[in-house]
Amino acid sequence: MDKPEPPILPSVLNGDTADVYFLRTREVLERAGLNPRASMELFPARDGLLCGMREVITLLKQVLPPDGEVWGLEEGETMSRKETILRITAPYQSYGIYETALAGFLAQESAWATAARDCVDAADGVPVISFGARHVHPNVAAAMDYAAVIGGCESCSSVEGARLAGVAAAGTMPHALIICFGDTVAAALAFDQHLPPDVPRTVLVDTFRDETEESLRVAEAMREHLQGVRLDTPGERGGVTPDLVKEVRARLDLAGFPQVQIFVSGGVTPERIVRMRQEGARVDGYGIGSYITSAPPIDFTADIHAVEGRPVAKRGRIPGITPNPRLKRLL
């Protein structure tokens, strides 16, 4: 699927989301008749996976004059602590009020992408899907899911996040569907009957009865239509353990359903994924939410390093353009 340009909200473009001192700076410079061509660089406070650059470029396309230059790393590249990942050279007033937004795009999305990569690395080839939309404000849910896909997730649960990432949205079924029907098998059969064939037939099996029992009931009822079962056992019941996965797998195999996959969700972390692998629990996919969404933002610092070509910097920083041969001309 094609990836559309991410939308830039009017509140961002008109400066309403900016720190107020940038707006005051613009007012002072305008009244003083000063608008120097300045080079501003951004760098992260820690290592990670760079994400948010698509929004950065989309915003800068709309605000920079034709002679503006943007150099940077590309979306999804690794970055090191204090490495210059973005350099903007243009009349300062054209981009100054957007420093807050630029740093914010990168800080949050890079954190989400980096956390997603941690999970994907731990899964070692087993598909991971972002299930974190419910853990963030809906205004940023799509950006979070997009970042998770940049971090290596196969897909994500939110429709808008999937659109931005150029993938198909993924998910199974909620407990609410099963509770409304009053029975897991009844809900599974209705799900199979009424949804188009391209929707995976993966059934949640922990709502009313033991997971192994529900898995076998659903498999017997759906037969070859069933593609997988999802284990989402809550913490109050001990969560999804390696032993539970192994038992469900064994009972499905013994009953003649080796093709039915096992999908695990609910408080999944890289550590829990590694434990599943180490203890021989065969998981075919993971849904991960809070580990990704709760990742602390990666702070980005923005500094002006040159004004009208003259090297300059605040104390503690090195004046002049910071060399980084990895940067590419992006605008």
Fold match flag (10-110+296-329 vs 113-293): no
Q: What is the pLDDT of residues 50-70, one digit of tens each?
A: 999 999 999 999 999 999 999
Q: Please check the confidence at residue 1 and state whether its pLDDT lies above 90.
A: no
Q: Please check the confidence at residue 93 and state whether its pLDDT lies above 90.
A: yes
Q: What is the mean pLDDT of residues 105-116?
A: 98
Q: What is the pLDDT of residues 231-280, one digit of tens each?
A: 999 888 889 999 999 999 999 999 999 999 999 999 999 999 999 999 99
DSSP sequence for 183-244: SHHHHHHHHHHHS-TTS--EEE--SSS-HHHHHHHHHHHHGGG--EEEE---GGGT---HHH
Q: What is the CATH number that goes with domain 10-110+296-329?
A: 3.20.140.10
Across the chain, what does the average pLDDT equal?
97
Tell me which DSSP letter residue 110 carries: H
Q: What is the mean pLDDT of residues 292-313?
A: 97
DSSP sequence for 18-80: S-HHHHHHHHHHHHHT---EEEEEEEESS-EE---HHHHHHHHHHHS-TT-EEEEPPTT-EE-
**Confidence label for 2 from pLDDT (cuts 50, 70 and 90):** confident
Spell out the domain ranges in the chain: 10-110+296-329, 113-293
- Sign of the Cα pseudo-torsion (77, 80, 82, 84, in order): negative
So what's the pLDDT on residue 322? 96
Q: What is the CATH number that goes with domain 113-293?
A: 3.20.20.70
CB 285 within 8 A of CB 129: yes
Q: Please check the confidence at residue 104 and state whether its pLDDT lies above 90.
A: yes
**Confidence label for 3 from pLDDT (cuts 50, 70 and 90):** confident
Q: What is the pLDDT of residues 174-221, one digit of tens each?
A: 999 999 999 999 999 999 999 999 999 999 999 999 999 999 999 999
